[in-house]
């Protein structure tokens, strides 16, 4: 049996779909549905059972779980704007540490979600070289809550037996419950439908023109394919970047949305909230050398291919879920 924490969430539910497509349905989904709409992400998926995250943690603490093949731990608070440090440390650090310790003690493969937010402003680059991990300086408490678990996993030797994935800017179907934290592609689609324009943040650095701030955008389907590969290739371990390996501008992304929707380009640049300006990353780009060295050879879809698939096959549909 495979456990997928965050299995009703954005990336987790697409991984469920990927596993189901590969014939795997012996899956335990762990999440916290609360009053959100993410329960819709579970429709059409095949799995053995669902547990709330607290119930699952109780089973872990009592060592009362059935035999597991792997834990895909993608459940976390992923809001980069969350300011409650204690909440983030409990959900993103302590919870992950408990699962990791149990996995190591029981010889269970664990794949967990880290984040490119751990790289901070990018001045030190975006290399996943383990010798540089301790030097990173995240810009917000979300990034730090991920970074401190990465550090623990390295110091404890856990990374010699498990995999951490530093997700860059992931977008795609099933992110709709994230609302304000949903991708710019999702927001741009609705803005364009409603206002005939797409709004992007202005730049506050002279070396970046408005709209030329850059990100490594990666499609959620590519993330799911890699996760499946890691489940099948258990010798692959360590802390790895998960991005496309190519940095693109927000203007490029907007142009891809205009093209996918068959609409003329019309971009409005708006002020960035003041509280975000000193914690904003102006460029990210994943280095993929270590991932490729482990044997993962599949190409990542281009930004234009990914946006076109997302817009035409999901966002434009009455039922946009995968």
The token duo for 200 is: 């992007």
Give the model's pLDDT for residue 82. Answer: 67
C-beta neighbour count of 268 within 10 angstroms = 10
Answer yes or no: is 122 within a domain: yes
Kindly state the average pLDDT of the residues 260-277.
Answer: 94
Q: How confident is the model at residue 39 (pLDDT cuts 50, 70, 90)?
A: very high
User: 96 — phi, psi (to 5°)?
Assistant: -65, -40
Answer yes or no: is 114 within a domain: yes
**Domains of the chain: total:** 1
Q: What are 122-152's pLDDT values in tens digits?
A: 888 999 999 999 999 998 889 999 999 999 9
Q: What are 279-322's pLDDT values in tens digits?
A: 888 999 999 999 999 999 999 999 999 999 999 999 999 999 99
The token duo for 256 is: 């891809």
C-beta neighbour count of 41 within 10 angstroms = 28
3-state DSSP helix/strand/coil percent for the chain, to nearest 5? 45, 15, 40
Beta-carbon contacts of residue 142 (< 8 Å; ≥ 6 apart)? 77, 78, 79, 80, 81, 82, 88, 92, 115, 117
DSSP state of 82: -
The token duo for 167 is: 């997700």
Residue 227 contacts residue 108 (beta carbons within 8 Å): no
Cα gap 69→108, rounded to integer Å? 6
Strand pairing of 248-249 and 214-215? antiparallel
215, containing H or E segment: strand 214-215
Is residue 268 classed as helix, strand or coil in its secondary structure?
A: strand
Give the model's pLDDT for residue 231. Answer: 97
Give the model's pLDDT for residue 60. Answer: 94
Answer yes or no: is 188 within a domain: no
The token duo for 238 is: 């360590």
Give the model's pLDDT for residue 81. Answer: 66
The token duo for 126 is: 């975006």
Kindly state the average pLDDT of the residues 148-167.
Answer: 97
Helix axis angle for 10-21 and 220-232, nearest 10°, is 60
Q: How confident is the model at residue 226 (pLDDT cuts 50, 70, 90)?
A: very high
| CA count, 13 A, side-chain hemisphere, 148 | 16
Give the model's pLDDT for residue 122. Answer: 86
Residue 215 contacts residue 250 (beta carbons within 8 Å): yes
Beta bridge partners of 270: 201
- For the domain that residue 36 is a member of, what is the CATH number? 3.40.50.720
Strand pairing of 217-219 and 169-171? parallel
Give the model's pLDDT for residue 80. Answer: 64
How deeply is 171 buried, as exposed, middle or buried, from its count of CB atoms within 10 A (0-12, 13-18, 19+)? buried
From the candidates 93, 142, 144, 310, give the one annotated as an active-site residue: 142
From the candidates 40, 87, 97, 178, give the one annotated as an active-site residue: 178
Asked if residue 68 has pLDDT above 80, the reply is yes
Cα gap 319→322, rounded to integer Å? 9
Answer yes or no: is 309 within a domain: no
Q: What are 3-32's pLDDT values in tens digits?
A: 999 999 999 999 999 999 999 999 999 999
Average pLDDT of every residue of the chain: 95
Answer yes or no: is 82 within a domain: yes
How deeply is 96 buried, as exposed, middle or buried, from its count of CB atoms within 10 A (0-12, 13-18, 19+)? buried
Answer yes or no: is 278 within a domain: no
Per the structure, the complete domain to which residue 27 belongs is given by 2-171+218-245+285-301
pTM: 0.95
User: 270 — phi, psi (to 5°)?
Assistant: -120, 160
Residue 310 contacts residue 173 (beta carbons within 8 Å): yes
Asked if residue 189 has pLDDT above 70, the reply is yes
Give the model's pLDDT for residue 78. Answer: 66
Q: What are 71-119's pLDDT values in tens digits?
A: 999 998 766 666 778 888 888 899 999 999 999 999 999 999 999 999 9
Residue 248 contacts residue 296 (beta carbons within 8 Å): no
Active site residue 178: yes
């Amino acid at each position: 049996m495979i456990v997928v924490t965050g299995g009703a969430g954005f990336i987790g539910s697409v991984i469920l779909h990927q596993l189901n497509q590969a014939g795997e349905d012996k899956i335990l989904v762990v999440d916290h549905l609360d009053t959100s709409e993410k329960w819709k992400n579970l429709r059409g998926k095949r799995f053995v059972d669902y547990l709330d995250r607290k119930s699952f943690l109780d089973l872990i603490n009592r060592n009362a779980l059935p035999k597991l093949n792997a834990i895909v731990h993608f459940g976390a608070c992923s809001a980069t704007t969350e300011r409650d440090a204690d909440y983030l440390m409990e959900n993103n650090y302590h919870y992950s540490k408990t699962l990791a310790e149990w996995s190591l003690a029981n010889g269970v493969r664990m794949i967990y979600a880290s984040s490119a937010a751990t790289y901070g402003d990018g001045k030190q680059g975006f290399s996943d070289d383990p010798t540089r991990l301790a030097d990173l300086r995240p810009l917000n408490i979300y990034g730090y809550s991920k970074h401190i678990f990465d550090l623990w996993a390295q110091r404890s030797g856990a990374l010699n037996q498990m995999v951490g994935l530093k997700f860059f800017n992931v977008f795609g179907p099933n992110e709709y419950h994230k609302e304000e934290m949903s991708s710019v592609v999702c927001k741009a689609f609705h803005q364009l439908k409603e206002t005939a324009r797409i709004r992007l943040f202005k730049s506050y650095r002279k070396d970046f023109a408005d709209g030329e701030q850059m990100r490594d955008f990666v499609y959620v389907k590519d993330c799911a394919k890699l996760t499946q590969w890691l489940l099948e290739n258990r010798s692959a371990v360590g802390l790895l970047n998960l991005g496309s390996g190519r940095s693109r501008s927000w203007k490029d992304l907007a142009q891809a949305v205009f093209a996918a929707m068959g609409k003329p380009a019309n971009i409005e640049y708006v002020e960035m909230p003041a509280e975000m300006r000193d914690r904003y990353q102006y460029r990210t780009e994943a280095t993929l050398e270590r991932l490729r060295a482990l044997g993962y050879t599949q190409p990542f879809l281009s930004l234009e291919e990914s946006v076109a698939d997302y817009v035409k096959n999901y966002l434009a549909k009455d039922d946009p879920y995968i």
